[in-house]
Chain A
């Protein structure tokens, strides 16, 4: 039987990928971010997961507004990289896990979550910015991506994402093969990419969010989408995807690692939890 061995909440941002590609990991601006991932990577090396299930959002790179899915599941054997406008990064395609992904599709639909099923799904910085910080880029661990619309309103509610997490757990535990799975929720933390408050963040809310995600996620899931945007920005609302990760972990969790830095326009959070 497959099991959820833990969860990782992490921010994503194009700038992380740019800094990584340029080898800026030890520069003063970036070291607090990159060094913060080292303990998370060590934990992954210790627990040896077989699969990453990543709840993330596309930034109008795979999907466009002609047909923008609320939930979309990547069931392909590989996932290519999207060109976000600056050209592709020097990274190989990611391996998928079609057998597990199709099981997940069936289980989610049985549980009344109905994702768009994608045999081809190009991934953007929503996955590829942080992943090289956590694993070698020969990508030994397959990835099953689950994209959530947090771009074009109406978007799913925080409560819906928390419930999605519980459904992910049930799906994983009904998979007959032995698989040790880490569930990711990625996005945020606070950032505002346009308008009169462009570039501002809210470190107090970011840290409160990470505190409460660990101890009382149900309360966080009862906040409204508007609450999240008022506290964390219209783009920072991405952080609700961490609720799906947390929902997959069950009631009590053990914190393995936590980091927070905010060198540029985004609050970068990292939280590693064990079931």
Chain B
């Protein structure tokens, strides 16, 4: 199977292993208490859960495309997005290399 299909990453075991620490951190954001702790100190929270400096930097810069390329699952990006107040349209547009306005103006088909 191709690793990139329709301009998107197939979430393979290899990707899942590479992004494991970041995905695991994001998975903890499914409780209000953890979201509050994360919001209070993003870097400290992530470091405490084993994220690398590179992963912490990607999250702090809201580099959704970079997170994805480093093995994040889109579903866990959405959890980070929920914790920092960014929804799917903006995240998805960023992974496409576009601003939200550029994405909204586009008419495309798979």
Contact = CB atoms under 8 A, between A and B. Distances in A.
Interface of A: 59-61, 64-66, 82-87, 151-154, 190, 192-203, 205, 225-226, 229-236, 265
A88 to B, nearest CB: 9
B8 A195 contact: yes
A174 B106 CA distance: 52
Contacts of B68: 194-195
Interface of B: 1-2, 4-13, 16, 20, 23-24, 27, 29-32, 35, 68, 73-79, 81-83, 88-89, 91-93, 95-98, 103, 106, 108-110
A211 to B, nearest CB: 18
Contacts of A65: 16, 20, 23-24, 73
A152 B110 contact: no
Given A84-B82, A199-B89, A201-B109, A233 B8 contact: yes
22 contacts: A82-B30, A83-B31, A83-B32, A85-B35, A154-B13, A193-B74, A193-B88, A194-B68, A195-B4, A198-B98, A199-B93, A199-B108, A201-B110, A202-B109, A225-B1, A226-B2, A226-B5, A229-B6, A229-B10, A234-B5, A234-B8, A236-B110
A198 B93 contact: yes
A195 B9 contact: yes
User: Which of B10, B29, B30 has the largest number of chain A CB atoms within 10 A?
Assistant: B30
B13 A152 contact: yes
Contact of A196 (B73, B74, B88, B96): B96
B75 A196 contact: no
B16 A199 contact: no
A143 to B, nearest CB: 21
Contacts of B93: 198-199
Contacts of A200: 108-110
Contacts of A194: 8-9, 68, 74, 77, 91-92, 95-96
B99 to A, nearest CB: 12
Given A83-B32, A194-B92, A233-B110, A151 B75 contact: yes
10 interchain residue pairs of minimum CB distance: A195-B8, A196-B7, A85-B82, A198-B92, A85-B79, A200-B108, A202-B110, A198-B96, A195-B7, A194-B95
A226 B1 contact: yes
User: Which of B88, B89, B91 has the largest number of chain A CB atoms within 10 A?
Assistant: B88
A80 to B, nearest CB: 12
Contacts of A84: 30, 78-79, 82
